[in-house]
Amino acid sequence: MTKRMIIMLVLASLVFGSIFGFQAFKGRMMKKFMSSMGNAPQTVSTMKAGYQEWLPQLEAVGSLHAIDGAEVSPEVSGTVSAIHFKQGEDVKKGQILAELIADDDIAKLHALHAASDIAKIIYERDKLQLGFKAISQQTLEMDEATLAQAKANEAQQQALVNKKSISAHFAGRVGVRMVSVGQYLSAGTPIVSLQALDPIYLDFSIPQQSISLIHHKQKITAKTDAYPGESFDGEITVVNPEVDSGTLNVKVRAKLNNPLHRLLPGMYASVEISSGAAQRYITLPQTAVTYHPYGNIVYLTEQQGVDDKGKPKFVAKQVFVTTGDRRGDQVAILKGLKEGDIVVSTGQVKLHNGSFITINNDIQPSNEPHPQPTDE
């Protein structure tokens, strides 16, 4: 073996030795890093578990309907001669909203009225004549029938004239005008929408298993996103006497006071119905509970000694809990916790039983029983 070959072998050994040595060093450092990461404290927020009083409630979503609502329209054909309302105003029962041209009908009514007067005069005269035996009873009966016929014709024509004036059948608020003066209308053509707004109906459905929890005159509270943060009180007026065979729900109707006419037909609203006496539950934000098919868990904080600086060290302790009803952001805990337990409220996703934790309570999850949307 030549000197040149020996030098090349030595150099190759040095190169490969460096490569393998670096890889081994890299593996040791990565293992040490992963080990340190496994023991690194995870930052979480915590809260103290405590009791709250909950009023059992049923919740549903329904839609609003006017107690009386209709599209005002003429019963007969004709041309619009006048409109007597302003769009969006409140009108009284019987108020004339629009009129159709009725000149010919009124003239005919006058003629029929005159015929009725003549028939009455003849009847009264012949009635006197019968007393003197100047006419027969048959003639008087014919006069009476003629008078009755004349009055019927006059009444019929009067009804036709009355129909040329379109009035409000109930008090309410009119909407957008859909016709104009001079426009010819067929019978049934909508003129304007009329809605009675105070009070107003709220219709919703509840499942059949909740029927025993509701009754006539039961108080309810309704909310709509049209007025965030506000609620409207009412009471149940009707519980449908049958269950829908398709949905197994029963329809319920409540009545809400609406003196300012802020609630409008067609709106939807959420409904809360108090269904029992208040009960005490330990409650947590729903984000504090991790849900699994095999059970729901929360993490408690437990002190485990102190660190080099004398500060307490904490670990996460996993416990199974039984959850109950939900209310807004909150969930009731029926079993697994006691009052005063310190529970991890956020950050539990990266934990396992025995994880070291660092507590930072600067940010807490939403924990409102009745959360409201806010504009950002």
Tell me the per-residue pLDDT of 317-353, one tens digit each, with 9 for 90 and over. 989 988 887 777 788 888 888 888 888 888 878 888 8
Q: What is the pLDDT of residue 238?
A: 92
Q: Provide the 3-class DSSP secondary structure of residue 180.
A: coil
Query: What is the distance between the alpha carbons of residues 317 and 355, in angstroms, rounded to a whole number?
Result: 8
Residue 29: CB atoms within 10 Å: 10
Say whether pLDDT at 95 is over 90: yes
For 240, which DSSP code? -
Sheet with 165-167: strands ordered across:
165-167, 96-100, 78-83, 184-185
Distances (CA, A) of 369 to 57, 317, 333, 341: 12, 27, 14, 20
Cβ atoms of 270 and 230 closer than 8 Å: no
Element (H, E) at 106: helix 103-131
Q: What is the mean pLDDT of the chain?
A: 83
Residue 103 or 36, more confident: 103
Q: What is the pLDDT of residue 303?
A: 82
Q: What is the CA 138 to chain-centroid distance, rounded?
A: 72
Say whether pLDDT at 13 is over 70: no
Q: What is the pLDDT of residue 18?
A: 56
In this predicted structure, which of 22-26, 310-314, 316-320 has the lowest mean pLDDT? 22-26
Q: What is the pLDDT of residue 276?
A: 66
Cβ atoms of 48 and 345 closer than 8 Å: no
Cβ atoms of 359 and 299 closer than 8 Å: no
If DSSP states are collapsed to H, E and C, what string results for 110-142?
Answer: HHHHHHHHHHHHHHHHHHHHHHCCCCCHHHHHH
Above pLDDT 90, what percent of the chain? 32
Cβ atoms of 44 and 357 closer than 8 Å: yes
Give me the domains of the chain, ranges plus CATH numbers. Answer: 41-52+279-359 (2.40.420.20), 58-67+196-274 (2.40.30.170), 75-185 (no CATH)
Cβ atoms of 58 and 252 closer than 8 Å: no
Say whether pLDDT at 44 is over 70: yes
Structure token pair of residue 192: 């304007």
DSSP assignments along 148-194, one per residue: HHHHHHHHHHHHHHHHTEEE-SS-EEE------TT-EE-TT---EEE
Mean pLDDT calculated for residue range 35-64: 78
pTM of the model: 0.60
Between CA 289 and CA 293, with CA 291 as vertex, the angle to 5 degrees is 155
Q: What is the pLDDT of residue 38?
A: 47
Say whether pLDDT at 33 is over 50: no
Cβ atoms of 366 and 372 closer than 8 Å: no
